[in-house]
Chains A and B, each alone.
Chain A
């Protein structure tokens, strides 16, 4: 009897539960509170899993990669700047060497020019002196030749005058003729 009542009560409770279940099914599943513990439990599991994945593996790895990249980029930029500075230094050195070479060349050219000028001047002076010596010599010879010619003319005139006197039948006195010619030549 007692067990029978219990059974009936049990059945009634079951029926009520079933009815409640259908009623809930008809409404929004979101408001079916019987599923809440399940969802909350599995949500916590999922969140813990994601959090564990992130903090243990993913985030340290991504942070390391990002830091690595930052370092690489910074290093590359520094290296590039270093190279640029070196290039500028090399350029400056090249410019300096070029200027020095240019100055050296100018100096050498000036020196050479001065040397050549000196040689030239010496040669010109030497040539001038030689020319002067030659012309003096030539003048001396010309004077000699002129004197020679004058003497010859004198002689020829005396001889010719003596011959002419003789030819005219006169007594040719050599000294008188000579004196007369000399006198005429002077006069």
Chain B
């Protein structure tokens, strides 16, 4: 009995966050900035997948596209239209970078859903850098394009004069919170979904150790399936949200007037 309990305790272990640990691919040394890690591997797989979709897929250059070429054209059209509609025609020169960000996030999100996969976009270091890059770029573009006129973004001309300074403070705070919410939204969504799935997964083998497992195991497997479905949705939606917010911020930089 005691041994069984011990075994149970040793088997039913909850390490929902272990999947996010960045570790070296080779050996067990410290993680230097140049060390190839699991993050490196999954980013490389994402780059490779993008290469297959957009370069190998379109190598036919057919007027009547093949299936792979259709997918590449569809993704191109999707983001191209988004940039044009949301940020305006003059934002199209930033389209390659926005498309880069979208592809990286969407592929990382979906590759992270593979069993034993590593979700690079669940790390605040990754999403933070992406968000800060957008924030810095948008701010620089705003000042280069509009000069001091960019500050009119914070001066709500349509509000009563007395309210404007207060609104300006709120606007400035919200502007500087942007990169934080932008990055934490993505990383948080990816991390939470994967962690919840891992928790359910830890409950799944309960039937091997306890009678309660008869009820818990099917439930947890069902829950994993449902969570997975939800995560597939979230994987795309979060990539979409990150991209469209980038476009919205870019529009503010190009046309700061409210």
Contacts and interface: CB of A to CB of B under 8 A. Distances in A.
Given A50-B47, A61-B58, A30 B122 contact: yes
B58 A65 contact: yes
A29 B20 contact: yes
Interface in A13-71: 25, 28-32, 34-47, 49-51, 53-55, 57-59, 61-62, 64-66, 68-69
A55 to B, nearest CB: 5
A18 to B, nearest CB: 12
Q: Is the interface of B mostly helix, strand, loop or mixed?
A: helix
A46 B76 contact: no
B97 A51 contact: yes
B54 interface: yes
Contacts of B31: 34-35, 38
A130 B40 CA distance: 127
Interface in B139-176: none
17 contacts: A29-B20, A29-B123, A30-B123, A32-B21, A38-B31, A43-B120, A43-B129, A45-B43, A50-B104, A51-B100, A53-B51, A54-B96, A62-B54, A62-B72, A65-B65, A65-B69, A66-B73
Contacts of A59: 76, 96, 99
Contact of B22 (A39, A50, A57): A39
Contacts, number: 123
B62 A65 contact: yes
B17 A28 contact: yes
Q: Which 8 A-B pairs have the closest CB atoms?
A: A37-B33, A58-B54, A35-B22, A46-B43, A29-B20, A39-B125, A29-B21, A42-B40
Given A46-B47, A50-B50, A30 B63 contact: no
